[in-house]
Structure 1
Amino acid sequence: MLAISEDDNVHTRRACIFRSLCAYLNEDHEKLVKEYLDTDLEVDSNMEETVMGVYVILKDGALPDDDPHDIGVLIKGVEVLTGLGNIALACALLFGLIYCLDLSYPAELKCTF
């Protein structure tokens, strides 16, 4: 929640709400939204291991109010959507894709979904 105190805009608030929802439901928010640095060499291999979720690639040394390098949706290790504007939009689109593609919800996030 430190992000709200450093950058108080609607997109930051929505991202914190998604993370808080996971915490409230006693689930790990890192299973839904995964953050990587653009200098990390293992980003691709880590993304391939993700069953379903949202990824955020942050610029190395960026301030909290700086825009991330990329935000997107992963399904079965494949980048389905990229270049999304914020985490809340990415989560909403992930929920829509799960419904439209008739996918089963991830077991580790059963309460969030």
Structure 2
Amino acid sequence: MINEIENRFNKEIVSTLIRFFKNSQLKKKGGVLFFSTYYLELMDEYDRNDSIFITRNSNGITVENLCDILKRNDIKKSEAYESGYLQRTTPSYKSYMKLKKSMSE
């Protein structure tokens, strides 16, 4: 279990570690890698959506399995997250403008 894995390793090392845990030939004892990250591209390392959980903060923090939110596997997960397609994963335009206005005053 690693919190904010990008603080310990660079992206390529993390990607290699993920691939190691996905390889059943190498992972003979059934180990599980559990980590949190801000590297959105790491979601694209997974073929399936049921191994990824998304946290959101909207009237309290929620944790949702990506397979319950994103029904299609042919959509690039990192782009769905960054674009706002998953809803409540990016700042709203209204909030952004309100922040921008308050900072300029």
> If the length of structure 1 is used for normalisation, what is the TM-score?
0.31
Structure showing greater relative contact order (alpha-carbon pairs closer than 8 Å, 6 or more residues apart): 1
Q: TM-score, normalised by structure 2?
A: 0.32
Determine which structure has more spread, i.e. the larger CA radius of gyration.
Answer: 2
Q: Which has the larger strand fraction?
A: 1
